[in-house]
Structure formats: structure tokens, C-alpha cells
Amino acid sequence: MSLLAALNPPQREAAKYLDGPLLVLAGAGSGKTRVITHKIAYLIGECGYKPGSIAAITFTNKAAREMQERASKLTQNVNTKGLIVTTFHSMGLRMLREDAKFAELKPAFSILDSADAAGIVSDILKTTDKQEIRRAVGRISLWKNALQSPAAALAAAEDDNARVYAKIYDRYDATLRAYQAVDFDDLIRLPAELLDTHLELREKWQNRLRHILVDEYQDTNVAQYRLLQKLTGVRAAFTAVGDDDQAIYGWRGASADNLRQLNEDYPHLHVIKLEQNYRSTIRILKAANALIANNPKLFEKRLWSELGVGDAIQVMPTRDDEHEAESVVMRLLSHKFQHRTEWRDYAILYRGNYQARVFEQALRNEKVPYQLSGGQSFFDRAEIKDVISYLRLIANSDDDPAFIRAVTTPKRGIGAATLEKLGQVAATLHVSLFEAVFSAAAASQIGERQLAPLTEFCQFINRFEERIVREPAGELLNDLLKIIDYEIYLFDQDDQRAAQGKWNNVLEFAAWIAKKGEEDEKDLLQLTQTIALITLLEGREEQEPDAVRLSTLHAAKGLEFGHVFLVGVEENILPHRDAVDEGRLEEERRLMYVGVTRAKKSLTLSYCSRRKRARESVACDPSRFIDELGDDVRQPEKPTTAEAKASGSDRLAALKAMLG
């Protein structure tokens, strides 16, 4: 049987097309991952491509892992060692590791996380105002994603406000260079700029990669587009897979115009549409098509399904926030009892995280297990960040944020006053805090008793740096934890139960480091650079609990559920008031479209007549998007007198009794 026999005709055409640049317009649930993985298998198994000459690039670790696993199954009898299935950021990191000197970075450069970036901006602004810090960080991120340097941002500034932010960007950029560090946005910006300015690099990577496949292409920003362009060169051997109807990240720099740009930059671009949906019923797709038809279209497409007509979409008006949450949970419970489904078949989706609290309460009241998307990452836990600060410092002694955290955790008798003096020495000499410890200025300006623990700490770090390339990552980390007495420190800081939980997390992290080091043949330095890009431990996402999923619409993209409750479908929420004011109504409609197309079998929309805002109760109007779903949407019927008298709890109790 042919490798591509399981694909439908448009999918098969997309997998086989190799005559130039290809855009695959893949509607929701149309099997885009299937196309990408089959194309990888086809390139290796039937076209003779070397695995190392193929790169499949997506946006999340989870998507990359799924793609890798599915491609491996399709190529079981073929050696796929060297195949690159990765995220944009990991691809950028791979390139920077190899070519760090071109960016004036040492190979052991640090990758700063969002907290580090916010800390630097906070120091520049001399404020702890989180909102102001967030604004500045967001502005810098948008400039970087648009490939604008600090000088270009300053030159283009149209008012005093923009000029202030551009100057913050300049100081932020200078700080990163001093730390020999990059942030997330730099992982794409820098490789794109290096390929643009260094012919030898461009030729090296273009010769190495013969075909590039890009998933979720509509979510790319200017920097990602430019990186792809420079990697593929004149051959333009790429397959871009995306859906302009699911472009929902404009607010963070993604440009749906990249699809239009493809048409202009590549006149011979071949376009294939995937319109058969394998997820949802006809009624859900009919409503989704009707909704998105209100947006202007770059490419016309219409989703269809062979999965049956399905249930009508339900609309549920409610009195207020609490009544909405109670009504949704009661309807969910009733549906589960009737249909004998599992908890994981249900999702409650909303526009903003703030809407989750009242639903969490309602689910807890009924003892319903739930999972909250976008919760704290494993790597964001304080104890894990403590350990990582040591690893970052061992990898790059110029990493000042890592130095400050590591040198004070556990306590070593090094106080704020000593660190302040050290900071002054470092600033005067224009060196890192670590380097400043060994300077003559530090010896003269910091007392011997205060300097001794600093010197001892730095010597300890140097010893570990010498071991990093010789010893297995797991052994090295375990040795580090013993020497710094981190377990004792945790139990001194917390009660026994909390401390044990934190120590278990550290042990889990150490085990992961050991396993990853062995499997990927990476030393502690390489793993440290990789950690910053990982949001959860490998394998944790696959162990999905049997629980109702609570998620924002943005976080739900790419997921699917048997039964979806889309809540808060009101004017000023969906579409959001700010988005309407800023002329981003079309993106809000696409967000609604994403929510609708998450549902496989049933979809229920709810809205409130009144909603609490601050301490007031304000009147709400149903979203304009409800009417745009078409006439196959079941509006609420008036309850009978008996039904009106019965509470949700009474109805549920009766239902349980009836079902035995």
C-alpha cells in the first residue's frame, strides 16, 4: 500500500507537491498535521531526502512532539536520525548555538525568561508598577518581532511616549549584550538578521535544509517570515500550512498579512485547500462558515463534513455571572449522566482568564474534576528557578540575574549591602558581577569578611564549569544539590509538607535532566539553554487527567472536545471592547470561530443579562456573533411553571435518581 493511500485527494496532492513554494490552506479539523507528517515520510521514504535536510517547524513543544511521534510511526523501517521537528524558537537556538560568534555572543550565552526581562525593565524604569513594566516589555517585544532595532524604533517614534519606550528598548538591549544573554524574541530576530547580513551563513543553512514545512503559518510574525525566507532562498522549497480564519495573535505581533505577502513574494506559489473537516458535525460547521463569512477573505474556502447533522447549537441566557456558572455546570452534569461520557469530553471556554474563577467555584461545589489551562509551568516554580539559576551561571558567568539569585539561595551571609557595593564596582568597571568579585576594586571597596563568601561562591561555580563538558548532566546536577545543601535549605524555609513537595519537584527535575542528557546526548550547558524554551516536562502533557478543561479561547486553539460550553458571549467581552475600539473586530470574529470549531458533537453558548464589574452590576447585551451564526441556532425556550420553580440542584437530584 502506498504511503499516501490513507489521505484524501487534496491532502495527497499537498504531500506530493515538490515543484516550488506551497501554501496549504488547512481549515479547522482538516488534518493538517496528517499532511505534514505524511509529507515528511514521503520525502524520506519515496523521494530519497536525507532526514537531516528536512525541517518541520511549529509553535509549541507539544505540537512538535506529536508531529515527531507521528512521523516516526510512518517511517518505522527507515532511519530518521537527524530529522528536525522543532519550534521556531528552538530552531533559532540551534542556529545561534552554531553561529554565536557572528552575533558577538559566546556559545554559553544565557536565555532570559519573561521574569528576567521584566526585572531588567523594572530596574531601567526604577519602578515595580507591573502594568507599566508589562507595557514596556510588550512594546519591546513587538519591535523585535518586527525586526526593528532600538535606533529604528527611536527614528520612527511619532510622539514623546514612543520615544521614551524606544530609549528603554535601547538600554534593555545594551543590558542583554552586557549579560551575554538573549530573550525569547532574540532567538528568532538574531538568526533572521544574521542570515540577512552574512552570505556564508545563508549559504550554509540553505544548503543544509532542502525542504522546510511550517505549521500554523498564519501565526508567524515579520521576523519568522524573514527567517523562513532566508532559510529557503531562491529554491523556495517550503510547505506553509495555515488558516487565515484562525489568525488570532495579531495583538502579539503575528501578521495575517504574511499569507498575502507569500502571494506577492512568490508569484509561482501553489495553493491547495483542505476543506473536509474530520472533527465536527454539519450544524457546527454550517454555523462556523456563516460566522466567518462576515470577514473579508483572502482565500475562499468552506468547511464540510461527513460526520452527520448533529445537534443544534444551544444558546443559554443567564441572569448574572454566578447563575451562568451554575447553569453551565448543571447542564454539563445532566449531559454527562444522560450520555455516559467522560469528564475530559467537556470544555468551558472563555475570552479572558478572569472569567474562570466563578466556574471553578461552581465545579468545586459539585465535586467535578477540572483542569485549568495556562496554569503555572513546572519551570516557573520557585524551587526549580533556584536550581536553574545555578545552571545558568555555570553556563554563563556573565548572567547577572542568575548570579544574584544563586548567590543568595541558600543564604551565605551575603547581604543586600554587599551586593550593592559589588554592583557599583561592576558598573564602574563595565564587567559582570561575577567578574567584579575577582577585581582589585572589589578587594579595596568591599571588606575582607564580606568578600570571602563571594569569592568562595565564584570559585565553586568555576569548578563546576570545568566539569560541565566532561561529566553526565544528571550526575553533575545531583552533586551540585548535595554541595549547596538545597534539601536542608527547603526544610529550613517551609513546614515539612510544603518542603517535601518542593524537594520532590527538584528530584523530578534532576531525573528529567539525567534522562534528557542521556537520550539527547546533551551536556548540562546544552540542556540549560534548552530549558528556557520548555513550558512543561516532557511527557506531562500526555497524561491528560479525566477532567473538564477550563481554558481561554487563545489557549484552546489546536485542541478539540466532544462538548463545548462557550461562555460570556457578550458585547464588550466577545468581541472585546478594546479590540472593537482599536479596529480589530475581524480578529475577534476569528477568535469566536476558533471557539466554535473546537466542538465535535455539541456546542452551547451562554451570556449574562447583568455582570459584576468592580462593585457594580452592569447590563449586558448578547454578542453580535450569535446572530452571525445563522438560523440553525436554537434560541432558548420559555420554561414551564414547574421547571421555573425547580432549582438546578433539584433537577440534578431527580436526574440522578432516575438513572439509578
d(CA 508, CA 493): 20
What single letter denotes the amino acid at residue 602?
S
Residues involved in catalysis = 32-33, 215-216, 246, 598
- Per-residue pLDDT reduced to its tens digit, 474-509: 888 999 999 999 999 999 888 888 889 899 989 988
Average pLDDT on 32-55 reads: 92
- Per-residue pLDDT reduced to its tens digit, 328-365: 999 999 999 999 999 999 999 999 988 998 999 999 88
Question: Which H helix or E strand runs over 591?
Answer: helix 585-596
- Per-residue pLDDT reduced to its tens digit, 557-589: 888 999 999 999 999 999 999 999 988 999 999
- Per-residue pLDDT reduced to its tens digit, 431-482: 889 999 999 999 998 888 889 999 999 999 999 988 887 888 888 899 999 9
pLDDT on residue 659: 45
Whether pLDDT at 240 is above 90: yes
Q: Which residue has the higher pLDDT, 56 or 613?
A: 56
* Cell representation of residue 470: 566532561
Q: Which residue has the higher pLDDT, 3 or 391?
A: 391
Whether pLDDT at 152 is above 50: yes
Contacts with 314 (C-beta within 8 Å, 6 or more apart), sequence order: 602, 603, 604, 605, 634, 636
Average pLDDT on 213-217 reads: 92
- Per-residue pLDDT reduced to its tens digit, 155-192: 998 888 889 999 999 999 988 888 888 999 999 999 99
Contacts with 625 (C-beta within 8 Å, 6 or more apart), sequence order: 291, 569, 574, 575, 589, 592
d(CA 356, CA 348): 9
Three-class secondary structure of residue 102 per DSSP: helix
Residue 552: how many CA atoms within 13 Å on its side-chain side? 10
Asked if residue 570 lies in contact with residue 316, where contact means CB atoms within 8 angstroms, the answer is no
Cis check: omega of the bond before 636, within 30 degrees of 0: no
pLDDT on residue 253: 74
What is the pTM assigned to this prediction? Answer: 0.79
Asked if residue 359 lies in contact with residue 322, where contact means CB atoms within 8 angstroms, the answer is no
CB under 8 A, 24+ apart: contacts of 540-543: 540/378, 541/62
User: What is the β-pairing status of strands 238-242 and 22-26?
Assistant: parallel
Whether pLDDT at 97 is above 80: yes
Q: What are the DSSP calls for 433-498, one per residue?
A: HHHHHTSHHHHHHS-HHHHHHHHHHHHHHHHHHHHTTTS-HHHHHHHHHHHTTHHHHHHHHS-HHH
Average pLDDT on 305-312 reads: 92
Max intra-chain CA distance, the chain: 87
pLDDT-derived band at 375 (thresholds 50, 70, 90) equals low
